[in-house]
């Protein structure tokens, strides 16, 4: 368990500002002629790294209401050694546009990751014995493509991941009824959606292709990805407690309650992925898309009571807790049934696509022989 004590505003306005930045102009390139002669045509490069973080806090109504807020924008853009952009996102076979020497002339792949976060806290002393905190934290993250950049995965096979939405809303209340009795309550909502989108320019009908025996310097995956889809979830947590404390005796009773759900989809392009072996079709996987999963924790609740007595050198601690859990996992399936009705037509289309790949491979072999 972690216990965080967040910052709050005060009766005076205070703030801070932090920033950092670097780019390719501030970095040395150690790619030399020996490495180039061994086939490495580009180095790992830091395109840019930045971080911008202002925060400020102060009074809205002196001695009664205060605010504290901050904003942060940060990210990293990197180039990966030996990784070059697809010449076209519509071609079935990967091509990076090569020169007469067989070197890729397409621009080096860029792997961008950037984040935004804005948080605000409002603290109100409603009365001498009642304090309310409200907190909101909004976040946005864009993983431009692959999580783990590598020359083995072309940009077309990397989903564009985004967090939409991503936020936390929280409220808490406390009141010292007397110098012995304290009442507390609070609630939190966390909403997330980690979604994988197609790269701009990748058509919906483009296959996800994997090559079992990629040529030196060439990727083993391209075309599209099998990881498109959403991972949407909500979680709500509530708590309340009453504490009674004297010099030698303390008692606390309360409850916790959690409700959450998650909705996941898998939306494979064209419902097909292909595996090649040295450029020729090797296997085909068909998905009953769009696949979806829906899981719900109706409630995960707990009732507790704890007590502590201290008599001279003897301290006794004891307590009791009751937990209640109910969850539902709906059977996995897919929306609609048209995939089965169209199966014969799809098989004909798959054969045509495979024959097209075979023909393209033969034409490529003939052009190589002619050279």
SS3 341: helix
Q: How far apart are the first and last CA of the chain?
A: 68
CA distances from residue 204 to 198, 225, 267, 311, 347 in whole angstroms, order as listed = 8, 11, 10, 74, 18
Per-residue burial over 171-197, b = 16 or more CB atoms within 10 Å of its CB, e = otherwise: ebbebeeeeeebbbbbebebebebbbb
Q: CA 280 to CA 141: how far, in whole Å?
A: 38
Digit-coded pLDDT (tens) for 201-227: 899 889 899 999 988 778 899 999 998
The Cβ of residue 123 has, within 10 Å, a number of other Cβ atoms equal to 21
Digit-coded pLDDT (tens) for 132-145: 999 999 999 888 77
- Residue that is written with structure tokens 């009908």 in the block: 205
pLDDT (0 to 100) of residue 354: 54
The answer on pLDDT for 333 being more than 60 is no
Q: CA 134 to CA 65: how far, in whole Å?
A: 11
Our CA angle for 56, 61, 66, nearest 5°, is 35
The mean pLDDT of 176-189, rounded to a whole number, is 93
Digit-coded pLDDT (tens) for 71-128: 999 999 988 877 888 888 888 888 888 777 777 777 778 888 899 999 999 999 888 8
Per-residue burial over 208-224, b = 16 or more CB atoms within 10 Å of its CB, e = otherwise: bbbbeebeebbbbbbbb
Digit-coded pLDDT (tens) for 142-177: 887 777 677 788 888 889 888 887 999 999 999 999
Per the model's pLDDT, the better-predicted residue between 268 and 44 turns out to be 268
pTM over 0.75: no
Band of pLDDT at residue 58, cut at 50, 70 and 90: very high
Q: CA 243 to CA 288: how far, in whole Å?
A: 55
pLDDT (0 to 100) of residue 151: 78
The answer on pLDDT for 363 being more than 80 is no
Q: CA 175 to CA 124: how far, in whole Å?
A: 12
The answer on pLDDT for 367 being more than 70 is no
């Amino acid at each position: 368990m972690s216990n965080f004590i967040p910052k709050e505003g005060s009766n005076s306005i205070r703030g801070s500002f932090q920033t950092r930045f670097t780019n390719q102009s501030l970095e040395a390139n150690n790619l030399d002629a020996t490495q180039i002669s061994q086939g490495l045509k580009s180095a790992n490069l830091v395109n840019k790294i930045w971080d911008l973080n202002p925060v400020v806090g102060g009074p809205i109504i002196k001695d009664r209401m205060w605010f504290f807020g901050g904003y942060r924008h940060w990210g990293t853009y990197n180039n990966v050694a030996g990784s070059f952009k697809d010449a076209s996102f519509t071609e079935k076979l990967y091509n990076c546009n090569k020169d007469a020497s067989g070197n890729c002339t397409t621009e080096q792949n860029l792997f961008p990751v950037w984040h935004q976060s804005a948080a605000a806290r409002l603290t109100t002393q409603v009365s001498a014995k009642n304090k309310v905190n409200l907190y909101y934290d909004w976040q946005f993250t864009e993983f431009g493509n692959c999580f783990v950049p590598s020359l083995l995965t072309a940009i077309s096979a990397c989903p564009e991941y985004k967090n939409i939405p991503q936020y936390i809303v929280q409220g808490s209340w406390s009141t010292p009824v007397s110098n012995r009795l304290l009442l507390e309550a609070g609630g939190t909502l966390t909403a997330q959606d980690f979604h994988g989108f197609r790269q701009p320019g990748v058509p919906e009908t483009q296959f996800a292709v994997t090559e079992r025996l990629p040529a030196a310097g060439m990727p083993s995956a391209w075309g599209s990805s099998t990881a498109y889809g959403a991972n949407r979830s909500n979680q709500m947590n509530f708590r309340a407690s009453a504490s009674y404390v004297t010099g030698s005796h303390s008692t606390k009773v309360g409850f916790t309650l959690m409700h959450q759900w998650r909705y996941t989809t898998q939306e494979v392009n064209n419902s097909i992925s292909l595996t090649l072996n040295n450029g020729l079709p090797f296997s085909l996987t068909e998905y009953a898309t769009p696949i979806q999963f829906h899981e719900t924790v109706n409630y995960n609740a707990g009732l507790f009571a704890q007590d502590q007595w201290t008599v001279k050198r003897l301290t006794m601690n004891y307590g009791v807790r009751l937990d209640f859990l109910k969850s539902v996992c709906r059977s996995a399936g897919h929306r609609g049934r048209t995939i089965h009705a169209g199966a014969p037509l799809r098989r004909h289309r798959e054969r045509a696509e495979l024959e097209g790949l075979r023909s393209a491979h033969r034409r490529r072999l003939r052009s190589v022989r002619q050279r």
